[in-house]
Amino acid sequence: MTDNPSHDNEEKKLSKEPQDFSDYSHHNWLDAMRKQQSAEQKPIEINLGDIASEARQGLRDYNRKYKVTGGQWFIFFAFLFAFWQAASAQGGFSTAVLILWLVILWVVAAPFRVAGWTKRRLNSRPCPVCGVRVANGETSCGSCGTDFQRH
């Protein structure tokens, strides 16, 4: 050793190895850590039924909050499908293919739109003052406040 005390301290610092993993090489140390972590962790159990029911409930909440109907979802996905078909047409994006698919999907959805329109019309009547449709059984208009029992 040398007479310089600071030099002795530097040698001690350099020669000091980690006590817990001193006999492991770098890769063995990583393997040991992975084994220790995997032994401590419990396997994750995934129940797809629970995930599907939570997704359904989230979609119901979204539909109620933003008043989205099934027909609006159909139109949204129909447009996505038509856009996808137009984008994947040979030679790049084709406006003609987009319009063709939108017309086809519009015709396919027509009976469902008519059924929904008829159902809404049968369950309501127009207000005699403002013309806003009011559900059957209501005694006053929600828009203008007209009392139907007086008229």
Task: Write down the domain spans for the chain.
Answer: 10-40
Confidence check: pLDDT of 17 > 50: no
Work out the angle between the directed axes of helices 70-87 and 95-122 (0-180°, nearest 10): 170
Kindly report which listed range (1-10, 78-87, 109-118) carries the lowest average pLDDT score: 1-10
SS3 percent helix, strand, coil of the chain, rounded to 5, is 60, 5, 35
Residue spans of beta strands (DSSP E) within the chain:
124-126, 133-135
Going by DSSP bridges, is the β-strand pair 133-135/124-126 parallel, antiparallel, or unpaired?
A: antiparallel
Kindly report which listed range (8-12, 95-99, 108-112, 147-151) carries the lowest average pLDDT score: 8-12
Predicted model pTM: 0.43
What are the backbone angles phi and psi of residue 126, rounded to the nearest 5°?
-80, 145
